[in-house]
Copies of this chain bind each other. A is one copy, B any other.
Amino acid sequence: MSVRSHSKAYECWLTYAPLEDVNLVKQYQEKFKIVLIKGDGPVMESVREELKAGLKGILGIEAVITTDNNQDATVLVMKTDQEPVKSLLTDDEIRKLAGEGFLLKTTVYEDKEVIIVTAKSERGIFYGTFRLLKQLRMGKDLSHLYHLSNPSSPMRMINQWDNLDGSIERGYAGNSIFYKNNELTENLERIKDYARLLASVGLNSVVINNVNVHQEETRLITDRLDMVKTIADIFRKYGIVTFLSINFASPVELGGLDTADPLNEDVKKWWKDIVANIYAEIPDFGGFLVKADSEHRPGPFTYNRDHADGANMLAEALEPYGGILIWRAFVYNCLQDWRDTKTDRARAAYDTFMPLDGRFKDNVIIQIKNGPMDFQVREPVSPLFGGLKKTNQILELQITQEYTGQQKHLCYLIPQWKEVLEFDTYAKGKGSTVSKIISGSVFPQKYYGFAAVSNIGNDENWTGHTLAQANLYGYGRLAWDPELSAEEITDEWVRLTFGNDPEIIKTISRILLKSWETYEKYTSPLGIGWMVNPNHHYGPNVDGYEYSPWGTYHRADHHGIGVDRTVKFGTGYAGLYYPENAEKYESLEKCPEELLLFFHRVPYTYRLKSGKTLIQHIYDTHFEGVEEVEEMIRDWQRLKGKIDEEAYLHVMERFNIQLEHAKEWRDVINSYFYRKSGIPDELNRKIY
């Protein structure tokens, strides 16, 4: 396999490095001597390749991979309806297995212990295979292996924000692995390796171009379709379905029509022809993702139509082929007057989509960002979750660290996502968590699940910051099973990437698990968000968006800071939640403090639960944030000589940048508030 010639960093969590415990190796070498894999076709071919490579790497053996029944086989890989596995399963097991789920179990066959990898679909077998190799690599005891696992949802997507010129919007890890100079990359092997990475954590679909669809990318549905086909062929081998972001104005820009009105018959026909042509070339094509009427993108509003009109028209074209239409809820007025304190961007998606609940066709999915703003380090959960009851919905997360340090800073996002998933909307009483909603168990939905913006590029290590690989890994794991804890996921990732040494696992896990909180401490305080430089969104700029048209204000003055989003005195946003949450957010006292400034305007002298004033809290957390980075660095330095030197030095380099920039954040934020409030730091530390 191609990856063998690459660096460790390139291989991510699929290093298949030799297992450290020699006794276990010996034991497992026996267990994996002869592997019986049934079935052929591209996916099964990938299963064979992967198992071969994995066993060679981890156990140092050239396992015999056979396709014919072989009584000596010690591992059986096949579908549930194929013998001999079929006879080794109970009805209950078969019933429990979902289409994409898998079962790993150790059982007795022909008087000896065998390991079974089985599923109802080839994709399921694939996921099972990866899981087995993972267990192996983590040195788990396989003698009592019993692992039946179904994905929580059918939609487990990755969104690439790649442009055909090779750039990536909000990409911090080099250029596109897909495109260069408006052509397909020459390195198709790398796309395959990406597909492996995605499939290995259970992701099953990919949108291969930026949601902001520019001129060249608009043509992917017509004369550049060959590129899509080539990419889809690669992803298919790993059970991944290909989607495209499309330009709503395509009928005008490509079709020469004078309108893109979704109710216009010519427009409908134009899209139907386009879709027919795509499916003729790519029969398992996934569908479209649309960003419409948002940040200057075209959309149905131009024609006085609503988003249901727009989405349904496209969904109708896709329907005959089983295609899906995904429509982003990220719609707001980006030409707001900063002087206008009535308009609240946080309300925009809710106000736009709630009236449309129930009007979307059943192959339409609304893709909703976790928060009402835009992937800030801290936001409340979007009230559309729980709000929308009769609409397919998926949660959109951002793996690429646009506002969370751009992969120069370490910011491990799994803890943040866990908070989102565990948020109780109370939509159907207690326990109506986001996790349950997007697992389809709160409201009846045909489609539900996850989407996330990828953090990869053509940097050797894929993600710019090697430790940022953990965010991609963790996303996949959560998309499969949102009930996994951050600790479990972290433990897995560290083991697979850096091995099973308990000291290494402990140290790196601690660094990762603390990093989001640390980043939050030295950046914008208590949920207010932003305070970044416009456009590139890196580095502190407290007033960067304060007098802008983007709807993102902190309203800091001499007395205090925060946006009043209460129903009583503010924009009313707090009232968009179910009463349990609405009352909490409405109340200055009950509001979770990490979101205090998102919901309330608070004087600097306000006492937090810690007994500190707000201003002192700002100062303290910003000094602490930098100290925590220093601590992270000290922790990391203890790993010198214990982990791969290249990885060690690379991460060290990033940490040094992070420390420098964390200080810049600390000093700018503290100086800003000191200069504005005139209130000195109680500890008299250096503020400029």
Contacts and interface: CB of A to CB of B under 8 A. Distances in A.
A64 B134 CA distance: 99
B543 A678 contact: no
A114 B556 CA distance: 75
A526 to B, nearest CB: 19
A672 B558 CA distance: 10
A542 interface: yes
A677 interface: yes
A contacts with B: majority SS: loop
Interface in A504-551: 540-543, 547
B541 A688 contact: no
Contacts of A557: 674-676, 678
Contact of A558 (B540, B542, B547, B677): B677
Nearest to A534: B533
Interface in A656-672: 664, 667-668, 671-672
A540 B668 CA distance: 20
A339 interface: yes
A137 to B, nearest CB: 47
Residues of A in contact with B, size category: 20 to 34
Contacts of A671: 547
A677 B678 CA distance: 9
Interface in A631-688: 664, 667-668, 671-672, 674-678, 688
Interface in A547-565: 547, 556-559
A97 to B, nearest CB: 57
A657 to B, nearest CB: 16
A541 B543 CA distance: 8
B339 A675 contact: no
A165 B556 CA distance: 44
B676 A675 contact: yes
Contacts of A540: 547
A558 B339 contact: no
A556 B675 contact: yes
Contacts of A667: 339
Nearest to A669: B547
A671 B676 CA distance: 12
Contacts of A677: 558
Most chain B CB within a 10 A radius of its CB, from A664, A668, A675, A677: A675
Contact of A676 (B339, B558, B664, B688): B558
B547 A678 contact: no
Interface of A: 338-339, 540-543, 547, 556-559, 664, 667-668, 671-672, 674-678, 688
17 contacts: A338-B688, A540-B547, A541-B543, A541-B547, A542-B543, A543-B543, A543-B672, A547-B671, A556-B675, A557-B674, A557-B678, A558-B558, A558-B675, A558-B676, A558-B678, A559-B678, A675-B676
Top 10 closest pairs, chain A to chain B, by CB: A558-B678, A557-B675, A547-B668, A543-B543, A339-B688, A676-B676, A558-B676, A558-B558, A339-B667, A558-B675
